[in-house]
Amino acid sequence: MTDSTFCNVCGAEIDPQRDLYCPKCGAPVKGGPADIQAREMYKAVARNTVRWAGFLMLFASIPSLVIGLDCLLNNSAIATNIWNIYEPVGFSYETLKDGVTAIGMASLAVGAFGIIGAILCFKRRYWIVALIAAIVLFFFGIFSFLGLFTSLLAMWFLFTAKYGFEEYASKI
């Protein structure tokens, strides 16, 4: 064995070009065919998981965008309905209308975070920014259970598939 080396686990002599696993303890040979195949398979799974996180973030953004647009386009009607039903004490109708507008703007901003995070997932760049977008989408996803659940799932996918992003892929 001219290109022999030793197992990292048990110290037995191995040939990295021939041996997939250590003949003594069964550990995969680092740099051998089994190790390279496992790394490539992990990279493929991580890339696919990142893509799913992007789809989930897009899906979770929809309720925020719809509610935001509705609040901005129909702020007078929404404020009138609230005013007529509850007759809030301590603030004026204009203050209520401004509050509905603020909720609409905040909802659109949260939806924009989701879209930005999804784009970053599809491009597989800037893992930390995509993760922050997913966290923002989760904490402000109170408008719908579906948005809350899908953003939580997207966060989990991003945590588990960090190496699917280009800046971390070489560290596998």
Measured at the CA of 65, the angle between CA 63 and CA 66, to 5 degrees, comes to 65
List the chain pLDDT tens, one digit each, 172 residues: 345 688 888 888 888 777 778 888 888 777 766 677 777 888 888 889 999 999 999 988 888 888 899 999 999 999 998 888 887 777 888 988 999 999 899 889 888 989 999 999 999 999 999 999 998 888 887 666 777 888 889 989 998 888 888 888 777 6
The secondary structure of residue 30, as a DSSP letter, is T
* Cα distance between residue 96 and residue 151, in whole Å: 29
Provide the pLDDT for residue 32: 67
pLDDT at 14: 85
Measured CA to CA, the distance from residue 137 to residue 62 in angstroms comes to 11
User: Can you tell me the distance from the alpha carbon of 1 to that of 157, in angstroms, rounded to the nearest whole number?
Assistant: 44
Q: At what angle do helices 127-139 and 93-123 cross, to 10 degrees?
A: 150
**What is the pLDDT at residue 11?**
87
pLDDT value of residue 2: 42
Which stretch of DSSP H or E encloses residue 35?
Answer: helix 33-73
The predicted structure's pLDDT at residue 1: 37
- Three-state secondary-structure class, residue 5: strand
